[in-house]
């Protein structure tokens, strides 16, 4: 494997905005992420993930559901006992029993959720808007009377009447709710309409708003970014987008998009993103796709001849940011789509200098071998190939590892 180090990328921390304008992250990997079908974290895994999220600087960790039972509450107590810098949040339904469960394990920050769409209220609960208004208000008062900080999530807000959501939000603000979460529960929002719709909401009910986007149509990150552009100051994320059905907005995608597309300060240690992704992938029992945006193994790998030619001249030609920013490194792979620049660079790594007349036949042999193997060539493959063609003697030994050259 060849790692190219350079300083040709501008500093990602450069911004004209004040540092206190950084968007805040509430990560719900341990709650919504674990609700993904087939995912069940052990207590040790939950503690490890909580510690890793805390270490990168996540502002809030939605660590679980106290009402799930004794085991869940015990883990929440253990997480709290580690004295994390992040605020630990217990997720609750708008139900007095859930509030009691949260209080019993020492939770001081509770997130209460209430359905706000008529579809959810009528079909799921056989209730109406008036009931929802009374129920959530009573539970907020119950939690605040216990000394808790309370945020409220509006479930299925994207299919709710905006007038009802606005009115309810205003009432909750008056009750001292610290933040309101607008949930696109089944991922039906689109970023173009989201910008206008959520902007009107923020103007009507000023104060901290959080976007909780689902990825059913692959738009969770886009909708999260649109919400921030509209004035939302908190984002709800999970590592790798783990969550119900198609999942949630991935923390790694949202953070890097905020930093590089919106030029907003992001006060997370993004250099630990790849390590964090591997931790959650193992705990969830879900392979990390090679092409996963930001943290996949292949997102900074280059094979195509024109790409490698550009990368060797100036990495920013085919990379949106320095791989080191997310704990990654660049790989130049010799394979079917390699050109002369790729092969010449691979030869140089082996201490071999070749002229143009020697390169072209070797490029053809590389393409034939890569097609046969159906993958890029590892160092051993490349070594064996060089042994079958007439090339100048190397100045230094040829790598013998299985990594791609």
What single-letter DSSP state applies at residue 323?
G
Query: Confidence class of residue 402 from pLDDT cuts 50, 70 and 90?
Result: very low
Longest dimension (CA), the chain: 83
What are the strands, taking DSSP E only, across 79-200? Answer: 87-93, 109-115, 149-155, 179-184
Predicted confidence (pLDDT) at residue 41 exceeds the cutoff of 60: yes
In whole angstroms, give the CA distance from residue 133 to residue 167: 10
Statement: residue 19 has pLDDT above 60? no
Architecture of domain 21-284: Alpha-Beta Barrel (3.20)
Under the banding of pLDDT at 50, 70 and 90, the label for residue 4 is: very low
d(CA 303, CA 157): 44
Query: Tens digit of pLDDT for each residue in 227-244?
Result: 999 999 999 999 999 999
Task: Share the mean pLDDT of the chain.
Answer: 86
Confidence (pTM):
0.84
User: What proportion of the chain, given as a percentage, has pLDDT over 90?
Assistant: 69
| Residue 395: predicted pLDDT | 46
Q: Are strands 209-213 and 234-237 parallel, antiparallel or unpaired?
A: parallel
User: C-alpha angle with apex 175: 174 to 178, nearest 5 degrees?
Assistant: 90
Average pLDDT over residues 281-306: 87
CATH 3.20.20.70 segments of the chain: 21-284
Distance of CA 348 to the CA centre of its chain: 37
> Residue 61 and residue 27: Cα distance in Å, rounded?
5
What pLDDT, on a 0 to 100 scale, did the predictor assign at position 301? 73
- Spatial separation of the C-alpha atoms in residues 218 and 216, rounded to whole Å: 6
User: Which tokens is 177 given?
Assistant: 């709710």
Residue pLDDT, tens place only, 355-373: 665 666 676 666 766 676 6
User: How many other CB atoms are found less than 10 A from the CB of residue 384?
Assistant: 13
Q: Which residue has the higher pLDDT, 391 or 92?
A: 92
Spatial neighbors of 225 by CB under 8 A, at least 6 apart, are: 191, 254, 257, 258, 261, 262
CA–CA separation, 338 vs 3, rounded Å?
Answer: 17
Handedness of CA 392, 393, 395, 397 (dihedral sign): positive
Beta strand pairing status for 234-237 and 24-27?
A: parallel
pLDDT the model gives residue 377? 62
pLDDT band at 15 (very low <50, low <70, confident <90, very high): very low
Is residue 18 pLDDT above 80, yes or no?
A: no
Q: Of the candidates 107, 156, 168, 78, which has an alpha carbon nearest to the alpha carbon of residue 132? A: 168
- Span 111-152, pLDDT tens digits: 999 999 999 999 999 999 999 999 999 999 999 999 999 999
Summarize pLDDT for 324-367 with one digit per residue, the tens.
999 998 876 766 566 556 666 666 566 666 666 566 667 666 67
- Give residue 404's pLDDT: 45
pLDDT for residue 299: 86
Q: Provide the H-helix boundaries in 336-378.
A: 340-349, 356-373
Residue 369's pLDDT is what? Answer: 66
Count of residues in the chain = 405
Q: Tell me, what DSSP letter sits at residue 404?
A: B
Q: Does the pLDDT at position 100 exceed 80?
A: yes
pLDDT digits (tens, 9 = 90+) for 175-206: 999 999 999 999 999 999 999 999 999 999 99
Q: 83 or 375: whose pLDDT is higher?
A: 83
The structure tokens listed for 241 are 């987008």
The answer to whether 320 and 260 are in contact (CB under 8 A) is yes
| pLDDT given for residue 352 in this prediction | 64
Rounded distance, CA 222 to CA 48, Å? 29
R_g of the chain computed on alpha carbons: 25
């Amino acid at each position: 494997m060849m790692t190219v180090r350079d300083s040709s990328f501008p500093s990602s921390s450069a911004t004209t905005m004040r540092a206190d304008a950084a968007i805040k992250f509430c990560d719900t990997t341990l709650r919504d992420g674990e609700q993904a079908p087939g995912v069940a974290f052990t207590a040790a895994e939950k503690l490890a993930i909580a510690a890793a999220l805390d270490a990168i600087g996540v502002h809030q960790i939605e660590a679980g559901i106290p009402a799930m039972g004794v085991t869940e509450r015990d883990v929440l107590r253990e997480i709290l006992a580690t004295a994390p810098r992040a605020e630990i949040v217990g997720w609750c339904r708008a139900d007095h029993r859930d509030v009691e469960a949260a209080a019993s394990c020492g939770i001081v920050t509770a997130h209460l959720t209430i359905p706000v769409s008529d579809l959810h209220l009528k079909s799921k609960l056989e209730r109406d808007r008036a009931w929802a208004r009374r129920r959530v208000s009573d539970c907020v008062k119950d939690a605040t009377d216990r000394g808790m900080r309370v945020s409220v999530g509006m479930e299925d807000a994207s299919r709710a009447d905006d007038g009802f959501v606005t009115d309810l939000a205003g009432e909750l603000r008056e009750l001292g709710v610290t933040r309101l979460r607008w949930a696109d529960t089944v991922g039906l929002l689109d970023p173009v309409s989201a910008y206008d719709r959520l902007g009107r909401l923020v103007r009507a009910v000023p104060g901290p708003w959080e976007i909780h986007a689902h990825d059913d149509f692959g738009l969770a990150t886009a909708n999260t970014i649109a919400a921030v552009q509209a004035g939302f100051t908190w984002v709800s994320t999970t590592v790798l987008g783990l969550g119900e059905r198609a999942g949630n907005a991935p923390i790694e995608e949202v953070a890097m998009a905020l930093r590089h597309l919106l030029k907003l300060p992001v006060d997370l240690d993004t250099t630990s993103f790849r390590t964090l992704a591997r931790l959650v992938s193992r705990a969830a029992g879900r392979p990390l796709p090679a092409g996963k945006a930001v943290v996949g193994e292949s997102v900074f790998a280059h094979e195509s001849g024109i790409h490698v030619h550009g990368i060797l001249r100036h990495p920013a030609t085919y990379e949106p940011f320095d791989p080191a920013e997310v704990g990654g490194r660049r790989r130049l792979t010799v394979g079917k789509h390699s050109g002369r620049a790729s092969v010449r660079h691979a030869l140089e790594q082996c201490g071999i200098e070749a002229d143009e007349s020697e390169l072209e036949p070797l490029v053809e042999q590389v393409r034939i071998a890569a097609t046969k193997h159906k993958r890029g060539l590892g160092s051993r493959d490349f070594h064996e190939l060089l042994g079958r063609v007439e090339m100048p003697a190397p100045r230094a030994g040829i790598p013998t590892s299985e990594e791609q050259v």
